[in-house]
Structures are given as structure tokens and as C-alpha cells.
Amino acid sequence: MGNPANGQQMLGITAPISLAGPTDYDKIKNQELEKYLFDAGLYESQEEALLREEVLGRLDQIVKNWVKTVSHKKGFSEQLVHEANAKIFTSGSYRLGVHGPGADIDTVCVGPNYATRNEDFFEELYRMLAQMPEVTQLHPEPDAHVPVMKFKLSGVSIDLYYAQLPLWVIPEDLDIFQDSVLQGADEQTVLSLNECRSTYQLLHLVPNIQNFRTALRCIRLWARRRGIFSNVMGFLGGINWALLVARICQLYPNAIPSMLASRFFRVYTQWRWPNPVMLCAIEEGSLGLSIWDPRRNPPDRFHKMPIITPAYPCMNSSYNVSSSTLHVMTKEFQRGNEICEGMEVSKADWNTLVEPCLFFEAYKNYLQIDIIAENDEDLRHWKGWVESRLHQLTLKIERDTHGLLQCHPHPIHFSDISRPFHCCYFMGLQRKQGVPVQEGQQFDIRGTVEEFKFSVLMYTMWKPGMTLDVSHARRRNIPLFVLQ
């Protein structure tokens, strides 16, 4: 859709809300914002940027060697072994250009049809990585919603996903952004490629990439400080926040980052969930893959906060959001909007916006989830598994209390240095506001907690010593090591 007034191409499924550019006030606020983000240490050094590039090059070598090893072990001809290839693609914050110091790199290894996910990726490649001195904290998650191998390579954190394409040879110039690459691919491959493909498409759907990046850095910092940056906990992760900011860029195409941040809170304070956020129309595609469509797919009707990926097949990237976590985020949008309005009359600044959430002052009652193992490696694996299941505890509590008890999970774990191989998470608990309650009404969630613990203990890599305790903690009894 074009705009005859300035010849500017319009992006998005609706016309912009405003084509206005910045005022002098906006330019001043923008300078303040850019300085604040820089002073907050959100930009990596040139040395770290070079190290990341070297690590990605090394990772590409590793997967190329891996696939040649696999083809040789399977008895393929010398010609096929010679041609055997795999490629690394990046996604997430690194691909978007908004990563900060120490951030992990989301990567996808694209391999051929004979290199299987379970045996070759999670076993053979795992063995190869485990033998490399530059690889540490190696942690496979084959049972995750999108299976992933996590590790550090030369100190850089890597999340490595696997896409197994129905090709004998992966060409070095493979274009994974053509829909045809998904022809005949399995569901895990489609999921593994979706964020990578959506990240690429997102960057082509915003009017000004640099403005988008600066605004997104601001929103990511705000979400982390306010304790709502965690897809696994039922809040939003990197791709979700990126899609929300990108939609604001479409609605205000001539706005600079300070304006985009302010409009972000204004728009999402008023947004009527579960109306979906979309950057482009949902395409049916020609491959018959399942797309997000609440009219046809009953499970899609229960999504609380749909944020739809732009690449085919369009999916809801925020499927983990629950009624409780949506309630928390809605309050945070409102707070952000009030602060941005306060900035206009000099009653607040960017630091006010991103002040850390006082989580342990917000509730009277909490659940404390203690995770214990017998050594560091076991704890890392056990913690990763429990963390991936915690949103299920939120859903079970909502279900068993008919939505009357709301949970606010804190996305960061705490460790007591006096207790080795231990960490804990907390959830704030409160009655749903605005609902009449009987005097003295209590919620007994002991059965809910036992059901949750039973499901978590089904962990396929469970070892003796891996234990899980869930207990009720009042505000006044929160351990000191958490508050220090």
C-alpha cells in the first residue's frame, strides 16, 4: 500500500496510525535514550564482536566435519563423503543486531536427510563436542518444544537447533528463506527454521532498521528489569518483543526510537487481547503446513496473547502465555505508558521506566521451588528441565482454582552459597482482583503441586540426588540470600 503524500511504501496489514516525524522535544528525548542505553552497557565491544564471528566460523567448521563423519560411518561413497555438507544460520538477537555483551547466539544447523536428529545430532555431534576442550557447559535438550543443544564455545554461549532437510547434499549457497526449502521437512525442522526465517522477514517489514533496533534495545532492557523477559516462564522472549516493536514501527513509520518506545506502551496498553499482533497477512502457502488459524484449529482459540510470526508457516510465537502472566504484562504496559506520559511533563525519565521490579514487596504469599542435585553438571541439567516445566505449574494452579488464584513467576533463579548444588525459583501468588470472595476462603493447592512434581520427576535423564521441593513462603519469611 503506497502513500501518495510522500511516496513512502507502507508496511503492515493496516494503514499507519500517524506519519508524523519527530519534534524538537522528541529529538532531545531520543538523544537521552541513546545515551542511557549506551551507559547501561547494552553494546558489545569490538573485541567481543570479532570473537563471536570467529566462534561462528569455528561452529560452521565443526558441523561440516560432523556431517562428513556421519556420511563416512554410514558407508557412503568417497564422492558423497566429499560433498557432505552442513551450514550454520543465525537468528534471534544476534541476527537482529540487538545482542549485548555476553548474550547467547541462536543458531540453526542445516543438515542433509541422512543426518538424523536423535542419533546423529544429539548423539554423534554431542560426543564430538564433549571431546573438545573449547566446549563447556554442554547440555542437550532433545525433549524441548524445539529440540536444542546448549553449550559454550570459546566462552560464547550457543543455542544450536537442527534442521534436517530432505536433500542428499546441502549446497553452500542454500537459501532457507524460500518456502520451498520446507517441502518434505518434519515438524521439528519447520519449528527450528521458523525463528530464523521470521527474523529475516521481520527486518524487511520495518521502515527503518536502525530505529527499530534502538527501540527494541530499550524495550528488551525494560522487560528484563521488570522481570517479564522469559518465554519459558510464560512471559515473552526475544522474538516476541521484536515482533511487538516491529508492529509499532509499521504504525508510526517516521517515528524515531524515543517516540517508538512511548507509542509501544500507548498501543499495547489499549490492545484488546486475544486479537493477534501480525506484521503481514497470514499466507496459506502451497505446502499444506499447519498455520495459526483459530477458525480452523480449536487449540488456537485458547491462546491468550497471539503474536504471529511473519514467515510461512505463520505460528503463534507466544503460546506459553497464561492468564496470570498476561495480567502481569498488562499491568507493566500500563505502568510504562504512565511513565512515558510523565516524561512529557518532566516527571519521569528513562531510568524511571526501567527501574527493577520490586518482586518480593509485591505479594504476601509465594511459592518457593527448590532444585537440588549432587554436582554442578547434574544441577545444570536438572535446573534446565525444571525451568522448562514451571509454566505448567502456573497453568495447573489456574485450572485447579478456576482462575481465582493468579501466579507471577520470577524468571531469575537464586542460589544460596551455603548450599552447594542448589538453586530456587519463586512465584508470587494473589487472588484474582475484582472477583468477590467468601470470607476466609482458602486455596488448597497441595494436590496441584504434587501433580506438578510427579510430572517433573518423569525426566528421562533423572539421576539419584535430583530432587524438587515446592513450599509456601510468606513475604516475611523470604530467605536472606534472595534479598541481598
Output the nine-digit C-alpha cell for 188.
Answer: 521439528
Question: Degrees (nearest 5) of the Cα angle 267, 268, 274?
Answer: 125
Flag whether 291 is marked binding. no
Whether a cis peptide bond, with omega within 30° of 0, leads into 313 is yes
What is the rounded distance in angstroms from the CA atom of residue 423 to the CA atom of residue 419?
Answer: 9
Ramachandran sector of residue 97 (left: φ over 0; alpha: ψ -120 to 50; beta: rest) = left
C-alpha 360: how far from chain center: 24
Question: Degrees (nearest 5) of the Cα angle 32, 30, 203?
Answer: 130
What is the rounded distance in angstroms from the CA atom of residue 380 to the CA atom of residue 413?
Answer: 12
Which residues, 6+ apart, have CB-to-CB distance to 319 below 8 Å? Answer: 303
Query: Counting every residue, how long is the chain?
Result: 484
What is the rounded distance in angstroms from the CA atom of residue 307 to the CA atom of residue 277?
Answer: 5
Output the nine-digit C-alpha cell for 335.
Answer: 505502568
SS3 465: coil
What is the rounded distance in angstroms from the CA atom of residue 124 to the CA atom of residue 245?
Answer: 40
Flag whether 159 is marked binding. yes
Scanning the structure block, which residue is given the C-alpha cell 546448549?
Answer: 150
H or E stretch including 244?
Answer: helix 238-251
Give me the phi and psi of 252, to 5 degrees please: -130, 70
Which residues, 6+ apart, have CB-to-CB distance to 131 below 8 Å? Answer: none
| CB-side neighbour CA atoms (13 Å) of 445 | 27
Flag whether 106 is marked binding. yes
What is the rounded distance in angstroms from the CA atom of residue 22 to the CA atom of residue 18?
Answer: 11
Flag whether 143 is marked binding. no
Scanning the structure block, which residue is given the C-alpha cell 493468579?
Answer: 406
What is the rounded distance in angstroms from the CA atom of residue 300 to the CA atom of residue 111?
Answer: 31
Cite the annotated binding site by residue number.
104-106, 159
Cite the annotated binding site for ATP by residue number.
104-106, 159
Cite the annotated binding site for Mg(2+) by residue number.
104, 106, 159
